[in-house]
Structure 1
Amino acid sequence: MENQNTFNPKVSQDVSNKIVIGLERISEVFKLLLWKKAKHIGLSPIQIQMVTFVAFHASELCNVSHLAKEFNVTKPTISDAIKVLEKKGMIFKDYSPIDQRSYTIQLTENGKEIVAETSDFTSPLKAQIDSLDATELDSFFNTLSSLIYKLNQSEVLTVQRTCYACKFYQKTNDTSYCNLLQAILKNKDIRLDCPEFVAK
């Protein structure tokens, strides 16, 4: 069994295994950078991710149920984070006029300042990606966007808003087209988080 383990360095690994190991290391970089920023400003990583998400997404996505799916955590974990953020004056609950038990999360001015303060935590990672040439970037992004879509289709990734899964997306031969924008999409135009996304 151990000889089949992707992380066993003694095994002659194929390229797929090496890519999995590479992705695991990149995910560790992301977590490390997020933790450093979190400790610096006195928030947890999930709290930073939540305020950042709320800042840039439609209000209907900023509720406990969706946030739990978005970050692959339990509803109680999201509720606990909301309590802390509310206590720190970074968010407020916008209750539904129809059902007072239902609410969305909105940012206060303090919350918006925190989003601005934490916006650079990925800079060391982005700097290395920026150093790739245009061909490498295009190939890397094409592979990454396809992988995200396939992981969603196999229900490993629960939430995504990429063009490939949108009802407005159409592919004919090798040409991608957005029926909402009424435009041909080049590889670089494919979005991983589209605000106009509507599931097929």
Structure 2
Amino acid sequence: MEDLSSKITAGLSRLSEVYKVLLWEQAKKLKLSPIQIQILNFITYHKQELCNVSYLAKEFNVTKPTISDAIRVLVNKKLLIKDFSSEDSRSYTLMLSLKGRAIVNETENFANPIKEQLNNISEEDFNILYKTITRLIYQLNRSGVLTVQRMCFGCKFYKANGEQHYCNLLEKELLDSEIKLDCPEFIETN
């Protein structure tokens, strides 16, 4: 008989496929690739210093040439703007153009079919699911499988006391449901 962890892994694989299918459908409508949509969405919600080729390659676990190619297309389509304002003239960060912002507005809800199904789960199960997902992501990061994470557990502002979470930046206790997967104030612990 198959063990439960194998069944959960298979289930997560299926959910990943659903996400990919939804992303591909959205990409085809807009004549973009899924990685191009992901880059546009990432740039929308993250600090500009994270919006460069090196960081994006790490974020999406692809090579720098793959990211560079995607960026070249997005710049040519006038969806992204390269900002060369650093001291190194070869280095740049990326910003969305107005046209890029319009595309992001069209793509933001591509995962709604998944969200709609999550609304059918009881609040207790929903909270347990979120707690499990946050722990799994953190453990995969710590074991080196997931290279980038900006969640509370790895942040210098986070403090745990048993099962209780505390954010020193916000100066408040956090519920499991308040643990952020992608905090804009994240600073990695040393």
TM-score range, shorter chain: over 0.9
* CA deviation vs aligned residue, 1:6-51 (integer Å, no higher than 9, x gap): xxxxxx2100000000000000000000000000110000000000
* CA deviation vs aligned residue, 1:129-166 (integer Å, no higher than 9, x gap): 12111101100000000000000000000000010000
For residue 161 of structure 1, what is the aligned residue in structure 2?
Answer: 150
For residue 184 of structure 2, what is the aligned residue in structure 1?
Answer: 195
For residue 4 of structure 2, what is the aligned residue in structure 1?
Answer: 15
Q: Superposition RMSD on alpha carbons, in Å? A: 0.6
**For 2:103, what is the secondary structure of its paired residue?**
helix
Q: Which consecutive unaligned segments of at least 5 residues does structure 1 have?
A: 1-11
Q: Deviation of residue 172 (structure 1)? A: 1.1
CA distance in structure 2 between the partners assigned to 1:181 and 1:139 by the alignment: 24
The one-letter amino acid paired with 2:150 is R
Q: Deviation of residue 96 (structure 1)? A: 2.9
Q: Which has the larger radius of gyration?
A: 1
Aligned residues: 189
Which structure 2 residues correspond to residues 1-200 of structure 1 after superposition, within 5 A? 12-200=1-189
Q: Which consecutive unaligned segments of at least 5 residues does structure 2 have?
A: none
* CA deviation vs aligned residue, 1:153-197 (integer Å, no higher than 9, x gap): 000000000100001100112211000100000011100000000
CA distance in structure 2 between the partners assigned to 1:44 and 1:26 by the alignment: 20
CA distance in structure 1 between the partners assigned to 2:58 and 2:74 by the alignment: 19
The one-letter amino acid paired with 1:44 is S
* CA deviation vs aligned residue, 1:87-117 (integer Å, no higher than 9, x gap): 0000010013411101001000000000000
TM-score, normalised by the number of residues in structure 1: 0.93
TM-score, normalised by the number of residues in structure 2: 0.98
**For 1:135, what is the secondary structure of its paired residue?**
helix
The one-letter amino acid paired with 1:38 is A
Q: Check whether the contact 2:80–2:94 (CA below 8 A) recurs between aligned residues.
A: yes
Deviating 4+ runs (over 3 angstroms)? none
For residue 3 of structure 1, what is the aligned residue in structure 2?
Answer: none
